[in-house]
Amino acid sequence: MYIGVDIGGSKILVVAGDASYRIVRQAKVETPDTAEQGMIEIIHLAEQVAAGKKVKAIGVAAPGPVDRARGRLFDTPPRNLKWGPLDIGHQLTNHFQAPVAVEHDASAAALAEAVIGAAKGKRNVLYVTISTGVGMAVVTDGEIYHGAHDTESATLYIDQGGRSQEFEEVVSGRALKRRFGKYGYQITDPKIWDTYAADLALGLHDLITVLSPEIVVIGGGVGVHLDRFHDFLVAHLKTMKSMYPLPPIIGAKYIETGTAYGALILASRLKSQ
């Protein structure tokens, strides 16, 4: 049995599955305030979904930054998770006697979309998640591209309204509510979505130009509403000069479970002890 752990700001989702990435059981709890209590909950949930079967390997996905080599979570941005550093890999390995992979949550979700999701069969995938914040990841030939550190999009700078601002501060779900007074699901005015898409296109154009993806997958709580602003987004992107054709821009297949699926895929690629 392989275990995937998705540590989010509001919930911890733990899934059990097989080598074919089929989830057979899952359980979740609200994310505790402390890392210590979170560790207790993760172990309990993993035991629950394993249902007495041997745990072969565990994949953990959490808001970054993460230390993959040591299996540690660092201090995370307060808007994402209020935990301090946690040696989660060491503790899970000791408890289950199984290898553990620790990954950034956006990278795990991107892996799921590239391997079994909306971008299955594509070699070069750019994944952008737009929720409370903004994250991104790149998957090439089924492997996550990390670079020297995690890839990052939130702190890209774009020119919005004559001011240079961080991408996340303009297009995140939090920014959407601040700017327009509504959450994504409440917005029905096409003019608002057009305005939003114009700003999103600025940052997305830079990412596409530099990374040259074969396909772009949009996920997250705002990404759920892609059908409302997709045509506006494409129209704005087409007005920008580009040497190459615009890649397809599609919605993610897995919104709630994508990160957990990605963690499960990482676990299945580890060698059991």
What residue type is assigned to position 160 of the chain? Q
Q: Which domains, and CATH codes, for the chain? A: 2-104+259-268 (3.30.420.40), 118-251 (3.30.420.40)
Read off the pLDDT of residues 12-37 as tens digits, 9 standing for 90 and up. Answer: 999 999 999 999 999 999 999 999 99
Instruction: Note whether 88 and 125 are within 8 A (CB).
Output: no
Dist CA 23 CA 59 (whole Å): 13
Residue by residue, pLDDT tens for the chain (273 residues) are: 999 999 988 899 999 999 999 999 999 999 999 999 999 999 999 999 999 999 999 999 998 788 888 898 886 665 667 787 899 999 999 999 999 999 999 999 999 999 999 999 999 999 999 988 899 999 999 999 988 777 777 678 877 777 888 888 999 999 999 999 999 999 999 999 999 999 999 999 999 999 999 999 999 999 999 999 999 999 999 999 888 999 999 999 998 899 999 999 999 999 754
Instruction: Note whether 261 and 105 are within 8 A (CB).
Output: no
The pLDDT value given to residue 213: 97
Which residue has 């779900």 as its token pair? Answer: 173
